């Protein structure tokens, strides 16, 4: 599972001309699921995201988490995070998760974040929809969090990700 985390002062998602999710200060997070992700990946990255210290403290250092600042999170499903562009000019999405499985993992991620931060602090895009995402990136700060190399993955799984 892969997250692209952007620290924002505001972010929103529009589907079919209507706003389906919006937040003020906090994170806008693109969420990509890999073909072999599990609930363990979800739980690991949800905990990592909640504890990620990229907000400034009173001394101006990135030292505070979203939990400490009381900020909000906009979660946007994004299957293209696992695009493979090593060959040719057309991306392959072979590493992206099966849509039904990815949707279930995304929904579990949303539920986990709502349980951690509070339901009112988590907004989402719509899985599988054509979305228009707007944001104001503060800093700019953009961080990638990824569970692909975690120790619970077998050696054969890690070899799958490194093939040329």
Residue 159 clears pLDDT 70, i.e. is over it: no
Bridge partners of 6, per DSSP, are 28, 142
**Rounded Cα distance, 128 and 83, in Å:** 16
Q: Is residue 28 a contact partner of residue 8, using CB atoms and an 8 Å limit? A: yes
Tell me the C-alpha to C-alpha distance, in Å, between residue 53 and each of 6, 16, 98, 122, 154: 12, 35, 32, 18, 29
| 1-20 average pLDDT score | 98
pLDDT in tens, 104-154: 999 999 999 999 999 999 999 999 999 999 999 999 999 999 998 888 776
pTM for the predicted model, two decimal places: 0.90
Cβ partners under 8 Å of residue 160, min gap 6: 36
Q: Which residues are catalytic?
A: 78-80
pLDDT of residue 154: 64
Domain boundaries, the chain: 2-159
pLDDT in tens, 11-68: 999 999 999 999 999 999 999 999 999 999 999 999 999 999 999 999 999 999 999 9
Q: What is the CATH number of domain 2-159?
A: 3.50.80.10
Q: Is residue 71 a contact partner of residue 27, using CB atoms and an 8 Å limit? A: yes
Give the model's confidence band at 75: pLDDT under 50 very low, under 70 low, under 90 confident, else very high.
very high
């Amino acid at each position: 599972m892969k997250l692209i985390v952007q620290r924002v002062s505001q972010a929103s998602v529009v589907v079919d001309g209507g706003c389906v999710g919006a937040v003020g200060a906090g994170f806008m997070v693109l969420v990509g699921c890999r073909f072999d992700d599990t609930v363990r990946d979800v739980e690991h990255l949800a905990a990592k995201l909640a504890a990620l210290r990229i907000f400034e403290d009173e001394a101006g250092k990135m030292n505070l988490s979203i939990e400490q600042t009381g900020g909000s999170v906009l979660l946007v499903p994004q299957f293209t995070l696992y695009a493979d562009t090593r060959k040719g000019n057309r991306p392959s999405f072979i590493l992206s998760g099966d849509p039904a499985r990815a949707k279930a993992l995304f929904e579990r991620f949303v539920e986990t974040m709502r349980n951690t931060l509070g339901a009112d602090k988590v907004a989402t895009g719509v899985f599988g929809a054509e979305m228009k995402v707007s944001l104001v990136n503060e800093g700019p700060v953009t961080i990638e969090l990824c569970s692909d190399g975690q120790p619970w993955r077998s050696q054969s799984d890690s070899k799958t990700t490194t093939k040329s």
